[in-house]
Amino acid sequence: MPSLYGLERSGDVEKLVELLRESEKETVRRRAAEILGNLDDPESAGLDALVEAMSDEEATVRAAAIDALTQQEAVEALMKGLGESVPESGATWAQAEAFVENLRADTVELRMASANVLGLLGVEDAAKPLAQRLQSEPHPEVRARIARALGRIGDPSVAGVLVECLEGQPLGVRREAAEALGRLNGKTALRGLLQVVDDDSEEMRRTAVSSLGKFENAKPVDALVERLGDESDLVRRAAVFSLIEILSNVPPDRSHELRETIVDRMAARSDPSIVASLVEIIEEGTQIHQRRNAVWMLGRVAGDKSTKMEAVEALRDVLGEDDDLISQFAATGLAEIGGRMVETALLEVIETDEYGDDSVAMAAFALGKVGGERSRKRLEKLVDETENAEVRRRAFSAISKLGGHT
């Protein structure tokens, strides 16, 4: 039988269904349900198996099945598993009212599912009854899902109730409350998150730090910069991601000042996890503004020799990006790092066939800032060999600058 990790990557519904139905291990059944919930298409067989799992002997598996069906927005299947029917009214609030009523049901699973569905429906009028139930609900698994639903609905008026859940609750409830506050934004949400950003629990600190990254202003920056010195690598990495996210959201007239402040504090930390996090954003990020900020920062916080090569390689590999700002920031970042290591990396771009003309042109530009005699000779050869006008122009310009150095 393939590993759960392998099944998650392959999306093998048949094998996952088999594990969910037949495995004797609670952890395996629970994880199989979670994976089915995350698939793009779990097929009817996967949904049917999740409905069956809502009657599993273990509460953790039942909860995972409920969450998985919610993730798939399979409301009818979810209600089928509870022996309930979906309200037929076409009005969203009329449907929501029925689920609000079920928040007081005797069955834990029905209350859990109702909270999940209310989060899916996103009806703002459901926020108040959910918040009221959060204060009286006896079961922590239900409270966690009510907190999650409040975050999805996004009504800032319930932030105070969520802040109350940040203390004196099981970790699962506290984390869901912190995630929800990140979605709500606002002064109350910020105040609550700042209270737990140095929590004893690593998971709680990481969640709070990640939620602070969702604020569209600079107010969380000081707290996030402090977390760059957290004892946990995971928290430090989350702080880097959140700082990049905030920089991508703040108004342009504030971003430059903030960028400089953050870079100064990052560079002072000289922490390998900072470089690793920036490289991850550059290589795997999907938001162009976040990637631009990460590229700009990386050349300025490259650190010592142990992390510098990782930074140099990441910047070198985006010299030919279609986005002009990313390629320009990469070139200037490499120039900022400087030294023989950078010169060698840039010469590799010119001397191998692995890189396109755009990369070669930007490498030539950067060599004009960091190169020496060997670069000048190689650039002269490039001028004679290239058929690309932009490469030739950049190489000529670089040679003139290097000539001034000799």
Is residue 220 located within the same domain as residue 329?
A: yes
> pTM for the whole thing?
0.80
Same domain? For 364 and 303 the reply is no
Mean pLDDT of the chain: 90
Most confident listed range (200-214, 259-273, 304-318): 200-214
Question: Is 358 found in the same domain as 310?
Answer: no
Does 225 score more than 80 pLDDT? yes
Mean pLDDT, rounded, for 118-142: 94
302 and 376 belong to one structural domain: no
Quick check: is 343 in a domain?
A: no
Query: Last residue of a domain, which of 64, 81, 98?
Result: 81
Same domain for 174 and 99:
yes
- 402/352 same-domain check: yes
Does 203 map to a domain? no
- Residue range 362-383, pLDDT digits in tens: 999 999 999 889 999 999 999 9
The residue among 62, 81, 100 that closes a domain is 81
Interval 134-149: pLDDT, tens: 999 999 999 999 999 9
Angle between helix axes 233-249 and 288-298 (nearest 10 degrees) is 120
Q: What is the CATH number of the domain that holds 173?
A: 1.25.10.10
The residue out of 130, 161, 196 marking a domain boundary is 196
Given a cut of 70, whether residue 359 has pLDDT beyond it is yes
Q: Are residues 227 and 308 in the same domain?
A: yes
- On the question of pLDDT at 406 being above 90, the answer is no
* Total count of domains within the chain: 4
- Which residue matches tokens 């940040």? 166
pLDDT in tens, 158-167: 999 999 999 9
Q: Are residues 369 and 265 in the same domain?
A: no
- My answer on whether 35 and 62 are in the same domain is yes
Residue 57: CB atoms within 10 Å: 8
- 246/320 same-domain check: yes
For residue 98, the enclosing domain spans 87-196
Residue 398 lies in a domain: yes
- At a CB cut-off of 8 Å and minimum separation 6, what does 387 contact? none
Residue 1 has pLDDT above 80, yes or no: no
- For residue 206, what are the contacts with CB-CB under 8 A and spacing of at least 6? 232, 234, 235, 238
Please list, in sequence order, all residues whose beta carbon lies within 8 angstroms of the beta carbon of residue 389, skipping any fewer than 6 positions away.
none
Query: Does 201 map to a domain?
Result: no
